[in-house]
Structure 1
């Protein structure tokens, strides 16, 4: 058996460190966590930069829309003022025409009453002329020796 003792593998020196399975798994987990942390940090940084760019472009978009809206409001207000001015002008013209129609109606009433007065006067003069004609005819008949009517 003495020979079998010599066949045994030599013992490892006590200075050589042995690595067991738990140590390897712990190191792999640490490396994996560090890699995952770096990956997450890089993605988060990229996402934050993308969000900042989006926010800036979105704010710019809203500024442009606000400027367009204000320009439309100004244009609308300008058109509204112009329409109000035209409306006021039309109202003045309507008032003027109403006044003229009223004056024309009053003139027409005055002219109608004048015409009626003239007709009454003409009728009176016509009757007077008829009487004068009859008187003249009688006078003429008396002068010619004919009896009057």
Structure 2
């Protein structure tokens, strides 16, 4: 039975849409065969999606020094329904931050700590002016998550 990677990312602009596409592209790398990928916007994703996945990749913009309202809404609706059953869920995060992303990262980390999910790697913070390299970094993150799931490392 294939492992399932859930990607939940807020993508309100053309550049953040490119990041989401990159995460999916990386996760769907042709060498990774035994991982199902589900991609949802935070307002469309819910606890049933989290309960059905084996790992989760989160993406958000930095909004006034905090995560997007859409991602916060996802957590608000999903937190208690998944709290007991999904402890230890492997997770990763990328933040598209116009400034430094510290508040956004800290807010998500607090929720992840409460859920008792486990970080696959340090959150990826894409700071400042847009850089084309951001796309490659997020693609690598998606690929690493899917490869780690397939290889049994997550």
The structure having more radius of gyration, on CA atoms, is: 1
Higher strand share: 2
The TM-score range, normalised by the shorter chain, is: under 0.3
TM-score (norm 2): 0.15
Higher helix share: 1
| Larger RCO, structures 1/2 (Cα 8 Å, 6+ apart) | 2
